[in-house]
Amino acid sequence: MRRFVRGGVGMLAVLTAATVAVGAASAAATPQGGPIALFATISPTSTPGKIVLAGAIGDWGKVASIDKNGKPAENGNFVMVTLKKGTFEIDATAINKKMANPRPQVQSGVTCSVSASGSGPVTFFNGTGLYKGIAGTANLTMTFTGVGPRYQSGAKKGQCEQDNGAPLAMLGSVIGRGAVHFS
């Protein structure tokens, strides 16, 4: 255990030094485009999720579901990405279509829990700040895992309630890779 912790601290120091060196060399440089990787957490409510991008975009911030007009929408097909150095939007229509009725990979009527995932393409557009002129695509995999409520009365008392769409707890993640360019 001690060796792992010491090794972890050493690795953290190396990563920190490398990040500072790279950051100092390109603090305000316009992105050149290229491959990206992203990881985001998402919520079934209007609470913004978190996102981290690496590669041609090295930044972090928040994601929120919006409609095609840019207004907040819990079930919008677009995503507003607000990062430290600018913003851009993602058209997630294709992946949302695939996730509309996903086939669960894990499901239990005993515990009223489910986990499902699906993959699909997204496109990047409408950038501001450092991301002005962004365009590109990525293939993302979206995964949700949650626990639902039970009916409290009536003929279905005790059964898993699937009608109201309000889980007791749910977490979601999005992971993917793609490429962007800037005009």
Residue 45: pLDDT band (50, 70, 90) is low
Nearest Cα residue to 169 out of 62, 39, 41, 45:
45
- 125-142 pLDDT, tens digit per residue, is 999 999 999 999 999 999
- 143-155 pLDDT, tens digit per residue, is 999 999 998 888 8
Beta strands 169-182 and 34-42 are antiparallel
Task: Give the DSSP letter of residue 161.
Answer: P
pLDDT at 28: 55
Tokens of 9: 């601290």
Q: Is 66 helix (H, G, I), strand (E, B) or coil?
A: strand
What's the pTM value of the predicted model, to 2 decimals?
A: 0.79
The domains of the chain are located at 34-182
Between 12 and 94, the more confident residue is: 94
- 65-104 pLDDT, tens digit per residue, is 999 999 998 888 999 999 999 999 999 999 999 888 888 9
pLDDT > 70 fraction of the chain, expressed in percent and rounded: 82
Tokens of 176: 């993917």
